[in-house]
């Protein structure tokens, strides 16, 4: 019995192994046939395979086959797989990408614009048909109405454009002969190789995958070639190689392209400047003002204890040169007996890190360096303005003329300076005279800030009466009255090109005034507290502002420029009320900004004290 069972299992096992082997061989043969391998059948039924079962490896290949194989291999990349994949039915993405493509084609540089504008018609038709064929009837009609104005003057394609609007569903497309032909056959368009490369860079570098798919599926680009078209042919050993010369480029086309590129860069978004922030610590005596010299050598601060502190921006200590007649030092007769002649020549002040200059008997509200950085002006609660020499660090001139506290100062490049006071006036001074040479009267409240126009012929004043006035230096008349603020005006700045005046203050709004017309040009919102200072960059394209909200903001003030929605930024301060012209918001830890100044290299210098 055991022997019978053993024979039975042995026979069945052999049959199963044979069946499995046949199935495996059958699968292998089918796979080899699909892969274009040659197989040979055995006439005698044995399991031997012919040598021809191996893949035929060609030792020679003609030039045409080699070219086709290499072209297919080069085109089989991930980028092309995505570009030639099925078109998405996302109507929102279709509309957004077509809008971007439309703007790109209409704003292309001059050598390519005329050729690229021809793409608008076929791309518009195919995007509309894609929406309609995917079942999005309403979005397709909205897309049609939104962009149909592009072809209102196109008489050639007027019939097709009108026919599109009559389509209601995918089933209507085959019934319309023109639309069906447009859908079934690729639209041919002639384009230079440079224009095609320019277009493909845009389609592949941004999120324009749907437009790229439609372009590949439904458009055929014909690139014209010169008469000396190089044909692919078998090499001839007897023929010498000839160097192909580069085709000459038209000078007018090159110059036009260069001008277009320069204009694009000029009209593009402004680069945000780097910011250097000076923070004053342990200001128990109350920091009122900060000023930095034009040569970036000194930084000074005015304090409530009537002192002016001076620091060096360089690693060196401050050196004071002695002067023969120092008005801040009173000499008595005993000095000539206690100090020998030898000691008098060597009696100099020691070099220090911080130098304190004393002379005022009230809080120092404003300090301002002259343009050559050799002198420093300071205004005080004691109704005076003082001039300090930066070599001897001593007071050399005392200016009297105001009857109340002097709030602010500004220097003219022509050697004049202006001051404004609580006595509701602004005054014009000359450095070599200790009395005012002109008074500007007209405000009904304190004059809090004064600024010189870049040409030196006008000064602007901001007051607690919520107005800005522009005065003529020649005759002292008011030539502009700018109204619109809802609080005291504490900060002003002229653009270097002289076209605009920026003002801000307690109402937290920044107003840009067009001086030629005397009207409001722009208004910026974003600050959550009082604005203390403003400054334009050297190109008059950016305005920096800072104040009590411990934040520095930069605004785009270029003329006739529409702000983009994506340029709107929010720093969490005043969120929801920020103007779209805001280019950047930079918060400090807790430094109240009291000073802003762009250098000649467009470095923004910022200073303030810790709150």
Q: Residue 562 maps to which CATH number?
A: 2.130.10.10
Below-50 pLDDT ranges, the chain: 1-2, 4-5, 40-58, 77-86, 227-230, 238-247, 340-346, 562-576
Whether residues 465 and 561 fall in one domain: yes
Q: Report pLDDT digits (tens) over 54-101.
A: 444 445 667 777 777 776 666 554 444 444 444 555 778 888 888 888
**Domain span holding position 375:** 275-320+349-610
Residue 578 lies in a domain: yes
8 A C-beta contact, residue 407 and residue 489: no
> How far is Cα 387 from Cα 147, in angstroms, rounded to an integer?
66
Whether residues 207 and 316 fall in one domain: no
> How far is Cα 430 from Cα 340, in angstroms, rounded to an integer?
41
Residue 5 lies in a domain: no
> How far is Cα 44 from Cα 65, in angstroms, rounded to an integer?
38
Cα 532 to the center of its chain, rounded Å: 25
Residue 198 lies in a domain: yes
Residue 70 lies in a domain: no
Whether residues 308 and 185 fall in one domain: no
In 10 A of CB 558, how many CB atoms?
A: 16
Q: Residue 154 maps to which CATH number?
A: 1.25.40.500
Whether residues 214 and 285 fall in one domain: no
Residue 259 lies in a domain: no
Whether residues 516 and 414 fall in one domain: yes
With tokens 């040659």, the residue in question is 38
Note the pLDDT of residue 38: 57
> How far is Cα 423 from Cα 499, in angstroms, rounded to an integer?
30
Radius of gyration of the chain (CA): 40
> How far is Cα 404 from Cα 422, in angstroms, rounded to an integer?
5
Residue 52 lies in a domain: no
Note the pLDDT of residue 346: 47
Domain boundary among 157, 192, 222: 222
8 A C-beta contact, residue 222 and residue 190: yes
In 10 A of CB 281, how many CB atoms?
A: 7
Whether residues 283 and 214 fall in one domain: no
Whether residues 315 and 172 fall in one domain: no
Q: Which residues pair with 380 in a beta bridge?
A: 364
Prediction pTM value: 0.58
Contacts of residue 558, defined as CB under 8 A and 6 or more positions apart, other chains included, come to 270, 541
Whether residues 388 and 496 fall in one domain: yes
Contacts of residue 504, defined as CB under 8 A and 6 or more positions apart, other chains included, come to 489, 490, 491, 492, 510, 511, 527, 531, 534, 545, 547
Whether residues 395 and 493 fall in one domain: yes
Note the pLDDT of residue 526: 93
**Alpha helices in 185-246, H assignment, sequence order:** 193-205, 209-218
Residue 303 lies in a domain: yes
Whether residues 472 and 595 fall in one domain: yes
State percent of the chain over pLDDT 90. 39
8 A C-beta contact, residue 413 and residue 372: no
Task: Give the number of C-alpha atoms closer than 13 A to the C-alpha of residue 141, restricted to the C-beta side.
Answer: 8
Q: Is 87 helix (H, G, I), strand (E, B) or coil?
A: coil
Whether residues 306 and 159 fall in one domain: no
Number of domains in the chain: 2
> How far is Cα 604 from Cα 297, in angstroms, rounded to an integer?
16
Residue 23 lies in a domain: no
Q: Torsion-angle region of residue 296: left (phi > 0), alpha (psi -120 to 50) or beta?
A: left
Whether residues 279 and 218 fall in one domain: no
Q: Report pLDDT digits (tens) over 207-265.
A: 788 888 888 888 888 887 654 444 555 555 544 444 444 445 555 657 777 777 777 77
Domain boundary among 222, 248, 266: 222
């Amino acid at each position: 019995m055991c022997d019978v069972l053993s024979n039975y299992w042995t026979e069945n096992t052999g049959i199963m192994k044979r069946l499995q082997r046949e199935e495996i061989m059958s699968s292998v043969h089918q796979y080899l046939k699909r892969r274009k391998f040659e197989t040979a059948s055995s006439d005698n039924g044995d399991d031997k395979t012919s040598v021809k079962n191996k893949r035929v490896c060609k030792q020679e290949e003609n030039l045409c086959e080699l070219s086709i194989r290499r072209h297919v291999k080069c085109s089989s990349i991930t980028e092309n797989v995505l570009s030639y994949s099925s078109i998405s039915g996302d109507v929102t993405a279709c509309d957004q990408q077509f809008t971007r493509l439309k703007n790109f084609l209409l704003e292309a540089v001059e050598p390519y614009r005329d050729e690229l504008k021809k793409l608008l018609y076929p791309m518009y038709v195919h995007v509309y048909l894609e929406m309609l064929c995917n079942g999005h009837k309403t979005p397709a009609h909205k897309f049609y109405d939104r962009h149909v104005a592009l072809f209102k003057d196109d008489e050639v394609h007027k019939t097709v454009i009108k026919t599109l609007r009559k389509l209601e569903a995918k089933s209507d497309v085959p019934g319309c002969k023109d639309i069906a032909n447009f859908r079934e056959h690729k639209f041919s368009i002639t384009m230079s190789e440079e224009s095609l490369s320019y277009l493909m860079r845009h389609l592949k570098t941004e999120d324009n995958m749907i437009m790229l798919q439609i372009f590949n599926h439904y458009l055929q680009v014909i690139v014209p070639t010169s008469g000396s078209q190089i044909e692919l042919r078998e090499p001839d050993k007897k023929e010498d190689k000839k160097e192909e010369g580069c085709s000459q480029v038209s000078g007018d086309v090159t110059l036009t392209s260069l001008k277009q590129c320069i204009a694009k860069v000029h009209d593009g978004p402004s680069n945000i400047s780097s910011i250097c922030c000076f923070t004053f610590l342990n200001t128990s005596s109350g920091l009122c003002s900060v000023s930095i010299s034009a040569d970036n050598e000194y930084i000074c601060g005015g304090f409530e204890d009537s002192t002016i502190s001076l620091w060096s921006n360089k690693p060196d200590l401050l050196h004071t040169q002695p002067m023969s007649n120092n008005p801040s030092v009173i000499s008595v007769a005993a000095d000539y007996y206690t100090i020998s002649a030898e000691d008098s020549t060597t009696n100099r002040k020691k070099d220090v890190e911080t130098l304190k200059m004393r002379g005022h008997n009230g809080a120092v509200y404003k300090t301002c360096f002259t343009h050559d950085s050799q002198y420093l002006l300071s205004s005080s609660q004691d109704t005076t303005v003082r001039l300090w020499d930066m070599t001897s660090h001593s007071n050399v001139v005392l200016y009297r003329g105001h009857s109340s506290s002097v709030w602010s100062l500004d220097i003219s490049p022509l050697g004049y300076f202006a001051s404004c006071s609580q006595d509701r006036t602004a005054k014009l001074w000359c450095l070599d005279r200790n009395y005012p040479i002109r008074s500007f009267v007209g405000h009904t409240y304190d004059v809090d800030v004064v600024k010189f126009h870049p040409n030196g012929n006008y000064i602007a004043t901001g007051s607690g009466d919520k107005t800005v006035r522009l005065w003529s230096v020649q005759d002292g008349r008011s030539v502009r009255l700018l109204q619109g603020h809802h609080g005291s005006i504490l900060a002003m700045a002229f653009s270097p090109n002289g076209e605009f005046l920026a003002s801000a203050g307690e109402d937290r709004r920044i107003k840009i005034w067009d001086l030629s017309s005397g009207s409001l040009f722009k208004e910026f919102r974003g600050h959550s507290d009082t604005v203390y200072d403003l400054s334009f960059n050297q190109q008059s394209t950016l305005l920096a502002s800072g104040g009590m909200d411990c934040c520095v903001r930069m605004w785009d003030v270029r003329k006739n420029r529409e702000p983009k929605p994506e340029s709107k930024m929010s720093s969490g301060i005043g969120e929801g009320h920020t103007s779209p012209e805001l280019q950047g918001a930079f918060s400090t830890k807790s430094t109240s900004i009291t000073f802003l100044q762009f250098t000649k290299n467009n470095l923004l210098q910022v200073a303030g004290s810790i709150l």
